Structure 1
Amino acid sequence: MRKTPANADVMTTREAGEALGVAVRTVQLWVEAGVLPAWRTAGGHRRIARSAVDKLMAERQNDLVPLGTATTTPTHPALRLLLVEDDPVLLRLFHGVVASWDFPVELFTATNGFEGLVRIGEMRPDIVVSDLVMPGMDGFEMLRALKKPGSGFGNLKLLVISALSSEDIEARGGLPEGVTCFHKPVNYVKLETLVHKYFSDRLQRLAGA
């Protein structure tokens, strides 16, 4: 007979969500993407090892810190932007680029798709800008997880920055529908224009709410 953990050592997705401070759907996304290891009971319910939740909580302690936080006002809340990139030089470059924009942006970072999914579940960003080729879970896997039906993140604005050619991207399965791709070297003026448009549209939505 297979040995199963004691009840005190396992958690439901709801209990994990409460412990981690995220929605149940976020926990389900993390489970489906492999961020949180889990199994199903005979009745089809997900169960998560408490040790896995504790480990993720420990990893998050000092990670969710914005690299650059713009001054915000009630009428101009900052746009929350997550950059998923493993190259430290490009991370610093992007930080400098975003700091020069004339609209408020809170910039957060992750270094691979695994960390990206954790950040997305935690901070619910407005826009995600991601590289594709990264160690561990790459950008392709992360984007597909986010665009999977029922993920809860189907409307999240996703941008890609990659050195891969269009042909190389297609050879690796392509990008999900609705993902905008910028090829390196990046035209940061065009990127700023696109992000600013989203920021303006967001303000209009908030004003009409």
Structure 2
Amino acid sequence: MNKSKHTEPLLSTQQAADLLGVSLRTVQLWVEKGALDAWKTPGGHRRVTQSSVERLLLKNQTQPVDNSVRILLAEDDELLKQLYSLQIESWDLPISLQSVTNGIAGLLKIGEWAPQILISDLQMPELDGFQMIRELKLSPRHENMKIIVVTALTDAEIAAGGGLPESVQLMRKPLLFSDLKDRLEKLLQELR
């Protein structure tokens, strides 16, 4: 956005983060991906238009109301993503499933769609699962989100990547979908 053409109220990235209930880094990622309108001051600080923050807030408030639990799948392997979708949708559980291929898209979708459960790989392009989960844990808005990590990484590799918060449930690849179904059924009971 060009400052000289600007006439509407502006917010700092921290003000936008506070209003949206997300971390400062999440707002920065949303700006970089175009989900929020912003420009940089001569000093290099971002200013976010108040109208783009209000649009995102309104979008979150006008989500269709249904009784299904929203699950976001973050997986960059297209074939594996399709297999997850086919399996999960065949279980006839009260869920709505959407998917993304990296952590940046994951943070954007979480901000827009507010899933209650995240199923994530750790090794993804652009922003990996480790970084995405760290960003989510910075925001009180997402403290009740249930997170399941499905990975082929060893415990040592997970530790080298910065580890995972205790609240994150870990499942290993190759994944038995019956185990995932059991885990999801338990989480659905907790959420209801």
The TM-score range, normalised by the shorter chain, is 0.7 to 0.9
Structure 1 pair 136–124 and aligned structure 2 pair: CA distance change class (3 A):
same
Is 1:126 the equivalent of 2:120?
no
Q: Could you say if the C-alpha distance between residues 13 and 122 of structure 1 is closer, same or farther in structure 2, counting changes exceeding 3 Å? A: farther
From 77, 97, 100, the equivalent of 1:87 is: 77
Match of 1:175 among 159, 164, 172: 164
> Is residue 80–residue 125 contact of structure 1 (8 Å, CA) maintained in 2?
yes
Alpha-carbon offset, residue 172 of structure 1: 1.3
By how many angstroms is 1:190 displaced? 1.5
More relative contact order, 1 or 2 (CA 8 Å, 6+ apart):
2
For residue 143 of structure 1, what is the aligned residue in structure 2?
Answer: 133
Letter in 2 for 1:48: V
Which secondary structure does the structure 2 equivalent of 1:182 belong to? strand
Q: Deviation at 1:151? A: 4.2
The alignment's TM-score, normalised by the length of structure 2, stands at: 0.74
In 2, the alpha carbon distance for the partners of 1:156 and 1:201 equals: 11
Divergent runs of 4+, >6 A: 38-41
The Cα of 1:79 is off from its aligned counterpart by 1.4
Q: 2-side partners of 1:98 and 1:126: how far apart?
A: 15
Matched, 1:12 2:11: yes
Superposition deviation, residue 12 in structure 1: 2.3
Q: CA deviation at 1:88?
A: 0.5
1:159 to 148, 166, 179: 148
Which residue does 1:31 correspond to in 2? 27
CA contact (8 A) 2:85 2:97 kept: yes
Structure 2 segments unaligned to the other structure (5+ residues): 33-37, 57-64
Gaps of 5+ in 1: 18-22, 58-72, 204-209
RMSD between superposed Cα atoms in Å: 3.3
Q: 2 CA distance for matches of 1:9 and 1:85?
A: 38
SS at match of 2:71: strand
CA shift, 1:117, in A, is: 0.3
The one-letter amino acid of 1:12's match is L
The 2-side partners of 1:169 and 1:10 are apart by 43
Shift of 1:27: 7.7
Distance in 1, Cα, partners of 2:39 & 2:130: 24
Q: Is the 8 A contact 1:13 1:27 kept in 2?
A: no
Alignment of 1:48-67 (within 5 A): 48=48
Confirm or deny that 1:193 pairs with 2:189: no
Q: Does the 8 A contact of 1:145 with 1:151 survive in 2?
A: no
